[in-house]
């Protein structure tokens, strides 16, 4: 009987899983920055938001299946294996992104934080309005942790122009600083309340 090498197989599996997670994470920006929790059993979770509200969420299955013909295995190179792992990771990231964007859209609509600019282009006023509607946290140096903007190809050009205007136009820089000052006061109040409760 030939040896099975279980410890080597386990190490290889760990390496492949780590690569898949790394590739998937790179494709899932900005969601890859969110904290992760492993759920070992059940079909629902309770999501507790920063403001203390709670919501029961059903867990949805996301899976990617691939079959490998055993006759291919002996001809597979490390490069071929990486390509296959990357393809699975990409497909998984696409599915996961779709679900996350659907959930995010529902949450945003439920909270009323929607700015509909119809057929017109995204403008500086939309940017300021969006900043006024969201929480902004600050780091240990009191610098704002600005929200991540995710956009499609058409909108991303307009957003780039708006961000450039926010930096280069003195009036816009002043307005942005005013919003940041208000957001800093709100953040300090949230932090003080959190520390008192916790």
pLDDT of 1 strictly over 70: no
Q: Please give the pLDDT value at position 59.
A: 83
Mean residue pLDDT of the chain comes to: 87
Tens-digit pLDDT profile for residues 30-44:
888 877 777 777 778
Q: Which residues of 134-144 are buried (b: 16+ CB within 10 A; e: fewer)?
A: eebeeeeeeeb
Place 18 in a pLDDT band, splitting at 50, 70 and 90. Answer: very high
Place 124 in a pLDDT band, splitting at 50, 70 and 90. Answer: very high
pLDDT of 198 strictly over 60: no
- Strand positions, DSSP E, 9-133: 44-48, 54-58
User: What share of the chain in percent tops pLDDT 70?
Assistant: 96
Neighbouring CB atoms inside 10 A of 24's CB total 21
Contact 147, 134 (CB under 8 A): yes
For the chain, domain boundaries: 6-111, 124-197
**What six digits make up the tokens of 21?**
């997670």
Neighbouring CB atoms inside 10 A of 154's CB total 9
**What six digits make up the tokens of 198?**
């916790």
Q: Which residues of 88-118 are buried (b: 16+ CB within 10 A; e: fewer)?
A: bbbbbbeebbeeeeeeeeeeeeeeeeeeeee
150: DSSP letter:
-
Contact 67, 73 (CB under 8 A): no
Tens-digit pLDDT profile for residues 47-105:
887 677 888 888 888 899 988 888 888 888 989 989 999 999 999 999 999 998 898 88
Q: Please give the pLDDT value at position 119.
A: 79
Tens-digit pLDDT profile for residues 128-166:
999 999 999 999 999 999 998 888 887 888 899 999 999
User: Can you tell me the distance from the alpha carbon of 143 to that of 41, in angstroms, rounded to the nearest whole number?
Assistant: 40
Cβ-Cβ contacts under 8 Å for 144 (sequence gap 6 or more): 136, 137, 138, 180, 183, 184
Which comes out higher in pLDDT, residue 23 or 111? 23
pLDDT of 19 strictly over 90: yes
pLDDT of 2 strictly over 80: no
- Strand positions, DSSP E, the chain: 44-48, 54-58, 137-138, 144-145
Q: Please give the pLDDT value at position 180.
A: 96
Average pLDDT over residues 101-125: 84
């Amino acid at each position: 009987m030939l040896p099975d090498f279980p410890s080597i197989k386990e190490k290889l599996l760990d390496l492949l899983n780590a690569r898949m997670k790394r590739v998937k994470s790179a494709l899932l920006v900005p969601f890859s920055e969110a904290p992760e929790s492993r759920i070992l059993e059940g079909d629902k979770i309770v999501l507790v938001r920063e403001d203390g509200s709670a919501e029961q969420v059903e867990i949805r299955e996301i899976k990617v299946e691939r079959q490998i013909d055993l006759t291919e295995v002996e001809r597979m190179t490390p490069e071929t294996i990486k390509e296959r792992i990357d393809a699975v990771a990409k497909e998984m990231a696409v599915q996961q992104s779709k679900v996350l964007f659907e959930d995010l859209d529902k949450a945003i609509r439920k909270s009323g934080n929607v700015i509909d600019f119809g057929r017109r282009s995204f403008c500086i006023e939309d940017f300021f309005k969006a900043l006024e509607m969201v929480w902004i946290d600050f780091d240990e140096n009191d610098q704002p942790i600005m929200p991540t903007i995710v956009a499609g190809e058409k909108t991303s050009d307009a957003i780039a122009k708006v961000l450039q205007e926010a930096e280069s136009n003195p009036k816009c820089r002043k307005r942005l600083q005013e919003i940041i000052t208000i957001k800093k006061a709100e953040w300090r109040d949230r932090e003080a309340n959190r520390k008192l409760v916790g």
